Every structure is written in C-alpha cells, then in structure tokens.
C-alpha cells in the first residue's frame, strides 16, 4: 500500500481538512493534493514534515491503521 493512502486515511480519520492541514506540513493545499493523488512525487523530507504535522513517526504512518504491538 502506498504511504499516500495512509496519509489520506489519517487526515480523514482525524476529520482534518486538507486545506487547513497543508500549511502545517509546509504545503499549499494544491501541492498537498497533488502529492496525495500521485500527480506529484512525495519526497522523503516532505514525508518527515507530514509526519511531524500529524504527530506521528514515519513508521506509524506506514503501518497505519495497525496499532503498534507491545514489546515484552
């Protein structure tokens, strides 16, 4: 599954508006839309900015919606 699908799911599940979220991640709404719809490449540094804006690690985004397993 593409990481962009997970990002879209997280935004939807948190009831965020893409247009309001975009500036928090350093994008214009048009840029974020282009990234999430695969019209524009998602760069690694952009994924890091998105993860910071969501308050999640990149690993948590990639594995979304799976919950991290407790380590024993």
Q: Which domains does the chain have, with CATH numbers?
A: 3-63 (1.10.260.40)
| Residue 69 pLDDT greater than 60, yes or no | no
Place of tokens 């939807």: 12
Closest CA to 24 of 5, 52, 60: 52
The answer to whether the beta carbons of residues 68 and 60 sit under 8 Å apart is yes
Mean pLDDT over each residue of the chain, to the nearest integer: 92
| Residue 29 pLDDT greater than 80, yes or no | yes
For residue 65, the model assigns a pLDDT of: 85
| Residue 67 pLDDT greater than 60, yes or no | no
30-49 tens-digit pLDDT: 999 999 999 999 999 999 99
């Amino acid at each position: 599954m593409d990481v962009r699908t997970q990002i879209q799911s997280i935004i939807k599940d948190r009831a965020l508006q893409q247009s309001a979220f975009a500036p928090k991640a350093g994008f214009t709404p048009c840029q974020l839309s282009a990234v999430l719809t695969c019209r524009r490449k998602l760069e690694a540094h952009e994924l890091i900015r998105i993860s910071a804006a969501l308050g999640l690690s990149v690993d948590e985004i990639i594995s979304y919606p799976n919950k991290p397993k407790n380590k024993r």
